[in-house]
Amino acid sequence: MEERGEESSAFSVRVFTLKEEARAEEEHMETHEEEVRVQEEVSREQQVSVGRERAEQELTVLLNTGQEAQQLTVQDANRASVFQFTVSKEMDCCQVGGQSFLFTVGKLSLLLKFKSPAEMKDFQRLLKRGDDEETRKGCTERDEAGNKDAERVQTPSRRHPTTFETSSKNSPTQGYQFHSCVSQQQSLLQDYLRITTYQRAILVNEADFRDKVVLDVCCGSGILSFFAVQAGATRVYAVESSPMAKYTQILVQSNCLSERIRVLEGEVEEVSCPDMVDVIVSEPMGYMLLSDRLMESFLHARKWLKPNGLMFPSYGDIHLAPFNDEQLYFEHFARASFWQQRSFYGVNLNALHGTAVDEFFKQPIVDTFDVQILMARSVKHCINFMEVKEEDLHRMEIPFVFTLLQSGLVHGLAFWFDVAYLGSTSTVWLSTAPSEPLTRWYQVRCLLQTPLFAKLGQTLSGTVLLAANNRHSYDIHITATVDQSGFRSGNILDLKNPFFRDLIWNHQMSQLHTPELFILLFIHFVNKHRC
């Protein structure tokens, strides 16, 4: 790399200083020499030289770049040095207001007030350029050392394949991992709305189960199998591929139902069901209905369904609507501020800040919200589980056109779903809408990379593409356009890696002391209930 010569830039400034620990001694000083001596002692460890400031006088700040370290010198009209110190990455510095810049070195804080915001920006740009050059130089030296070390290291073997390599596109095992622990099954069983809806759907349609053969796909704890027996089923085949299968068998035996419930351990694509069945029951829903791709196993089980047989659930609706939530948008953006640190245990993390922002914005946000943030009536995409093919779920395109009911920024699209259990006696609905009681599925929000401004009555059109991936989930491709203005935005998100916002928020609250917790709880309450 070609060495740069020393460059010096001058700016006219006013200077304000704050020294914290020398005040008590300064009150008793009688001579200028004594003051200078104490100031030098205060600043010696921080490599700062301090002279006596001339009151009511504009000063000149010189920034010398191009050498190994940047030097900042403040001079008076006679070119006498007032302050001089080395600018390092470990130094705390920041912009203050529109035309001031603050340096803090040890016990000394130095505020430079420039003549104009433009001069302050020029100073800040030169300061950053020097910092970047220092960083690049350090990186080059480390890379050269690393390359020498790498020559001594053999190419590693591929004995440990990556997650991408070990993921099978057609293997549902990954999707079942969540359900394989008793503790997770407890969480599912304690979802009152989920359990009572399933029991009501089965028992109110007792005629569809009495003296029938039932298949329970991805049965988990087997609770739906027990409900089917309560409704009069003569035989239930409960299919479970995870280690939970052995615990399901224990529950069946302890409830003296081994003659009526038979646990089939394995994936539904691989096990053999002894009989054709009259009804298939399952709980294959994930976030946004489809997240874990368990729905494909549910559909695959139709090969054992008799003609005119039933499926519980019978069909599902995916709802989407535009929303306005400035707090969420900036909160999500601020999550990446961690990577702006230039001295994290001596390491500059700033180079990954942009990458972190991109990654965080690829995360769908799992939480709940007030319906008042929705800017239009939802559009729904219907899936009939009796008719849809497995391959149809590999790539689903949902077009939308929203007529906005309010003006403002569209920050993204909100998603939720409803499923229906269509029996011969009654149709029972399970809804995860934000206007309904909260379920374990919450709602999901996908942010646009850039918010779109739209007015009342204008239309927002575009598409949502759900593309199945080999991580047993979906990539979400969103494009949106305000038709009247032509403004466009979009995003690509990874449904396998959602951000559980309410859960994280609750965890952060538990780390706070009582006064802080009270204040933030009050703010959260106001935001949740404001009109």
Q: What is the pLDDT of residue 507?
A: 41
Model pTM score: 0.63
pLDDT score recorded for residue 63: 72
Q: What letter would DSSP give residue 6?
A: P
Query: Residue 528, class by beta-carbon neighbours within 10 Å (0-12 exposed, 13-18 middle, 19+ buried)?
Result: exposed
How does strand 59-65 pair with strand 395-403?
A: unpaired
Fold of the CATH domain 316-497: Hnrnp arginine n-methyltransferase1 (2.70.160)
SS3 per-residue string spanning 170-217: CCCHHHHHHHHCHHHHHHHHCCHHHHHHHHHHHHHCHHHCCCCEEEEE
Within the chain, which residue ranges are assigned CATH 2.70.160.11?
A: 316-497
Residue 56 has a pLDDT of 46
Are 109 and 122 in contact, with CB atoms under 8 Å apart?
no
pLDDT at 270: 86
> What pLDDT was estimated at residue 131?
60
Q: Which of 478, 496, 498, 497 is nearest to 488 (CA)?
A: 478
Q: Which residues of 415-449 are buried (b: 16+ CB within 10 A; e: fewer)?
A: bbbbbbbbbeeeebebbbbbeeeebebbbbbbbbe
DSSP assignment, residue 3?
A: P
pLDDT at 46: 42
Q: Residue 108 is inside which H or E element, if any?
A: strand 108-114
User: Residues spanned by CATH 2.30.29.30 within the chain?
Assistant: 7-136
Our CA angle for 505, 511, 515, nearest 5°, is: 95
Residue 127: name the closest of 95, 173, 81 by CA: 95
Across the chain, which has 531 residues, the per-10-residue mean pLDDT values are 57 70 44 50 43 55 68 74 70 74 71 81 74 56 50 37 35 47 75 89 95 92 92 93 85 92 89 92 92 89 93 96 94 90 94 93 94 96 94 95 96 97 94 93 95 96 94 93 94 93 51 45 46 39
**What is the DSSP pairing of strand 459-468 with strand 427-431?**
unpaired
Question: Which residues of the chain does CATH 3.40.50.150 include?
Answer: 173-283
- Tokens 């401004």 belong to which residue? 453
Fold of 173-283: Rossmann fold (3.40.50)
* Domain 7-136, CATH: 2.30.29.30
Closest CA to 227 of 248, 204, 203, 205: 203
Q: Which is it for strands 81-87 and 70-75: parallel, antiparallel or unpaired?
A: antiparallel
